[in-house]
Amino acid sequence: MSNKRLLGKTAVITGGGSGIGRAISLLFAKEGAFVHILELNTERADMLTDEIQASGGQAQAHVCDVSNQQSVLEVMARINTVDILVNNAGIAHVGDVEHTNETDFDRIYTVNVKGAYNMLYAVVPRMKKQGAGAILNMASIAALVGITDRFAYSTSKGAIYAMTLSIARDYLHHGIRCNSISPARVHTPFVDGFIAKNYPGQEAEMFEKLSKTQPIGRMAQPDEIASMALFLCSDEAGFITGNDYPVDGGFVKLNN
Ligand SMILES: NC(=O)c1ccc[n+]([C@@H]2O[C@H](COP(=O)([O-])OP(=O)(O)OC[C@H]3O[C@@H](n4cnc5c(N)ncnc54)[C@H](O)[C@@H]3O)[C@@H](O)[C@H]2O)c1
């Protein structure tokens, strides 16, 4: 008998082509799930799908902008069962409220908050019909503690934290579990990208500085977030819903 933890499950992972989403897609496929990767970046999603299939896993890439409800509904119409939804796609912005203009704020809100809502709007009814489902939202330590210069991003992740509770409460008696993970800094293209954009010429110094903000002394690797995601989306976590799990190298509780 196989001991794969997601055998026979179908998972939908947004932003699955890079960083944390990529690590989750690879691990879920390795554990037997059929993985649907919803991505803005087709090239990355196609490459990952090829990689998963080459190692004997099952995956399909879908071009999708999660911030656009029509795009989400069109993609989801092509997918039948959804046992697991991982709302992972997200973008960053650096700035306090005085350095966050309306365009910045709308962009962050539309992808990080409305994107998760669009996915839930499409997926929850079918999980309800199935009487089962596991949903995982990617929040952030920015939802839990005050982080300098992350006004719009923190606001969006606070919304994800609350959205998790709302879904968990409303669908408690429909067999749907909903949890979130709050990573501290994870070494992904997301982090490299915002360092390059916001601190040009000081990349190495900023990388070191950001690494040290985790009391453990480094950033997480994407795999370390994926292993928590696997547990929370597996049947082993059947008694867990409505909770947030910081995977943070001590960031929230030990930074004193
Ligand atoms: N990296 C970190 O330090 C960190 C820390 C805490 C939380 N997070 C959260 O984890 C999630 C993943 O972050 P990451 O570091 O892996 O990022 P990443 O930039 O490496 O990957 C994000 C992926 O999402 C895709 N994406 C962006 N907008 C999209 C859209 N509108 N529709 C579909 N796909 C879209 C991108 O193409 C990209 O492939 C994000 O929600 C982020 O806020 C990251």
Query: Is the distance from CB of 75 to CB of 37 less than 8 angstroms?
Result: no
Residue 220: phi, psi to the nearest 5? -80, 160
Domain residues for the domain of 59 are: 10-185+221-249
Six token digits for residue 150: 């992350």
Mean pLDDT along residues 77-81: 96
Predicted pLDDT at 233 = 99
CATH number (domain holding residue 245)? 3.40.50.720
Predicted pLDDT at 169 = 98
More confident call, 194 vs 155: 155
Residue 149 covered by a domain: yes
Q: Which amino acid is at 163?
A: M
Q: Whose alpha carbon is nearest atom 7 of ligand 1?
A: 140
Atom of ligand 1 nearest to the CA of 15: 24
pLDDT tens digits along 205-218 = 999 999 999 999 99
* Mean pLDDT value across the chain: 97
Predicted pLDDT at 172 = 98
CA dist list (Å): 221 to 19, 74, 148, 188: 9, 33, 23, 8
Considering the chain, what percentage of its residues have pLDDT values greater than 90? 95
Residue 119 covered by a domain: yes
Mean pLDDT along residues 165-175: 98
Residue 17 covered by a domain: yes
Residue 1 scores a pLDDT above 80: no
Q: In the chain, what are the helix, strand and coil shares in percent, each to the nearest 5?
A: 50, 15, 30
The whole-angstrom separation of Cα 209 and Cα 162 is 30
Residue 192 covered by a domain: no
Residue 52 covered by a domain: yes
Ligand 1 surroundings by CB, under 6 angstroms: 14-15, 17-21, 38-41, 44, 64-67, 88-91, 111, 115, 138, 140, 183, 185-186, 188-191
What b/e readout covers 4-25, taking b as 16+ CB neighbours within 10 angstroms? Answer: ebbeebbbbbbbbbbbbbbbbb
Six token digits for residue 216: 């453990």
Residue 214 covered by a domain: no
Number of domains, the chain: 1
The whole-angstrom separation of Cα 92 and Cα 188 is 12
Residue 43 scores a pLDDT above 90: yes
Q: Which residues are catalytic?
A: 153
The whole-angstrom separation of Cα 136 and Cα 123 is 12
Mean pLDDT along residues 167-178: 98
Six token digits for residue 233: 């989306």
- CA angle, corner 66, sides to 63 and 68, nearest 5? 100
pLDDT tens digits along 107-139 = 999 999 999 999 999 999 999 999 999 999 999
Residue 256 pLDDT grade (very low, low, confident, very high; cuts 50, 70, 90): confident
Name the strands in the sheet holding 84-87, side by side, starting at the edge strand that comes first in the sequence.
58-63, 34-39, 10-14, 84-87, 133-138, 176-183, 244-247
What b/e readout covers 225-239, taking b as 16+ CB neighbours within 10 angstroms? Answer: bbebbbebbbeebee
Predicted pLDDT at 194 = 80
Q: Whose alpha carbon is nearest atom 32 of ligand 1?
A: 65
